[in-house]
A = this chain, B = another copy of it.
């Protein structure tokens, strides 16, 4: 999220600094995502649960793969060695669009995860209308709204600073 928003939240940041931060934050996210998937496999194997049968797992593996591809593509095109200016110009909107697609895929995977885990808990006896179930579902809704606000902030044009100052307010 912070990696997507850096150019919008800090429009006056030095461009190279913003780019490097964007790159590093996404690298950290990729590593954390891959570690999360490793943990899922380890937990499954330790508990004797089957691997890779649910849509959550399929979409999750697909998302982290696309995320890593997007990172490598961005690194090669915009950082090192870096493509020709005309290529970068035409690639940038696709980089942003594909990045938002992967972000939305990550959100969808999270929603599937909330539903899957809660369904398991409920089939194990958890009250369907209890506080814990409501907590999970409301958290999932907050994730949807938060994700939508990030996408809106990313696609709307940057804020143009208008000249401000004090002016006498006329009486009547």
Contacts and interface: CB of A to CB of B under 8 A. Distances in A.
Interface residues of A, number: 36
B123 A55 contact: no
Contacts of A108: 107-108, 111, 144
Q: Is the interface of A mostly helix, strand, loop or mixed?
A: helix
Number of copies: 2
Contact of A56 (B55, B62, B115, B123): B115
A171 interface: no
Contacts of A122: 53
Nearest to A104: B104
Interface of A: 50, 53-56, 58-59, 62, 97, 101, 104-105, 107-108, 111-112, 114-116, 118-120, 122-123, 128-129, 133, 136-137, 140-141, 144, 148, 151-152, 155
